A and B are shown apart, each in its own frame.
Chain A
Amino acid sequence: MERETNAIEAQATAWFLRQDAGPLDPTAQEELHAWLAADPRHYGAYIQVQATWCDLDRVAAHRRTNASPPPVLRRRHHRPWAIAASVLVIALMGVTATLRLLHRSGEVFTSSIGEVRNIALADGSHLTLDTDTVANVNFEAAEREISLERGEASFSVAADARRPFIVRANDVVIKALGTAFTVRIDDRKTDILVTEGLVEVVWQRASGPQVRRVGARQLATVAMSEPNLDVQAVKPETIDRKLAWQEGKASFAGEPLSAAVAEINRHSRVRLYVDDPTLARAHVVGVFNADDAETFAHAVAAAFDAEVAQAPDGLHLRAHETSVTQ
């Protein structure tokens, strides 16, 4: 059944793409508002386009992970003067201070809460940022360096033996050669999950560095509270669960509710709280949309015979007055 292209839909698409091209100037902004307000169908068509575009993020991520390696694109990450400057610095090897400064002048990529962002890098590698993440990318002739300032990111590294790929996260340095891995940091620990290939993890402790090689399907954990870097094998199912965020999902296989809520809270602007300590220990199983705290809360409430209370600071999960099922 062929459908004639709807005029409103065409207008909505045009408006959407104008906004996608860059922030609208005030006049255009007003025009858009007037157009949207003129007819609920306008608004509806705009929402349709917006939701379709948003849905295509998943497909984009899927294509990146399942398709043959994408063509290497020369993105102009560095301004010409920056390249000139780095050449100059290599010539004057002694000037380490300047080199450090250059390291900091790389391109900063961020994702907002609830967003998963995919970035193609100049060397053919890919970077996927989970919610609320900041990564600083510094690619130079001799090495490719990314520092993870906050959050969680996956790296799919294009092989280049002469240019090591290095990720800095907290006080840990991860060196990779044509591999794929994910790094997650918070104030207390750094997790490195390797999905492909081999990486070298260097923990720069005050007492001296500790070095470990971490292979595919292994998880390295560097925790403030532990004296040693811990490396453990991870089952493929666990890897899938840990990387569910790449498709906007959070997946739990029996984690305590408190941990599951912490994970959902990373992705959602609506905060969740568990008011009951017994309830906080209940085991959560299931796959949820990571940024949808409300649905998660209601599902949990239904499963554990709890209730969801709306409060000014967010949603509170608490036991029914009668009982708590564990």
Chain B
Amino acid sequence: MQRSLQRAVARASLADDRDLAGRIRDDGQRLVFLLNGLVRSSRLYQAGNAAVDALAAEAAQMLGRLVGLLGAAHVVAVEDQIYVNEIRVRMKKLEQELLDQLVAELGRHEAGGLSFHAPLEPEDLKALARALAGPAGEAGHGRSALAARLAGLPGVEVGGKYRFRLKGEKPSTRQDAAEVLRRGASVVEDTLARLAAGRLPHPLLVRRVVIDLVDALDADSRRAATVALRQGETGPGTQHLLAVSRLALRLGRALELPDAALSDLGVAAMLHDVGYARGSDRDAHAMAGARMLLRQRGFHEGKIRRLQATIEHHSSADRSPCLFARILRIADDYDVLTASRPGAPPLPPATAQAAMWAARGTVYDPDLLALFVQAMGLYPPGSLLELSDGRWVVSVSGGRDAERFAWPLARVVRDKEGRVRDGAEEMDLFVLREFVRPKRVLNPASHGVDVGAALEAVQRGTP
């Protein structure tokens, strides 16, 4: 008990930075004091007044310090309290009035706070103060009106009033991979937009999707393996990130990575190509992505490994990149080879896998690729096969075990007479192996077959 207590305290101490919190409390208090002073002065004095200039200069310096320390400073007003990056600003009794004033000013504009993603010049802060001191917008539009007035200031966001939404919350639907991926798509695209705009990375949002995805994989690996986003719901770029995440997590699970590492891997996978968000090309996007992700402050093992993986995910295994990079390389290449892209027809999954197998040990980590292939089977989900009896089937299971590696579960999409089927009929090729076997792998694109229908039948749970 003593040892586990020591380890727990050590781990928690690493994550909990009280020194930093103390500094934020002190600097945050000063910043709030200065902001309030600026707003009040804006009402009392003309622009260019020396007192206002001095306040603005000091506020700019304080804000610069906080942003330098944290990457972004968030001033949030809640009821009668103000928080700076979740640390409550404590004022003496006599100074509470100052807090109340700033809360009231923000409240007039229906705003709950201000976020600063970059330092501001004194002139910018004066403009901010004038906007806050100015008339509020129409009821229900106050915040957006204020945001519009502040649009010219770099990196300033106006936050909503921090209320609690007790209605309309969805309980976490962890077992539905398709739902999770849909949510993941919007989180990823939102994250990319923020990163492209120079905002700080916010991996937590992505991590929440990842842990739900892990649970979905665990709850029903077969459905999770066959889930696919419908075309048109989101673009190939986003689909790629989500597919790589799903594949990487499957490989991570096959490796039996602990949950903490698995969630780090998932986050790394979802963000590995962020470098493209600012228009980088294939050669430059790895380091470009790392530079965007580097802005995040605070030590976390997930961040270290994510940065490594982002930089190295196109490196060959023989150059010894980190584990996450080697995993991502496999997942990344598999998806690039098998996904439909403009001007680049996809390879059948089995063919793509075989091509990767040929580079096992050079491009791909031999053990990781072996695990990947075990998880996917000889005929990965989505493989279109012609059976020895003439039927066409789509593989809908991964490699179940060594014995059934080459004998997947499959859904019939064409019968012996050549008639199209809807994929509702399922066969276990292992059970039927004495009667029928896979004869050849077909390219769906060449034969005009939509394997998605069969995969969707699995999602619907038919038969």
The answer to whether A binds B is: no
Residues of chain A touching chain B, judged by Cβ–Cβ distance below 8 Å, are none
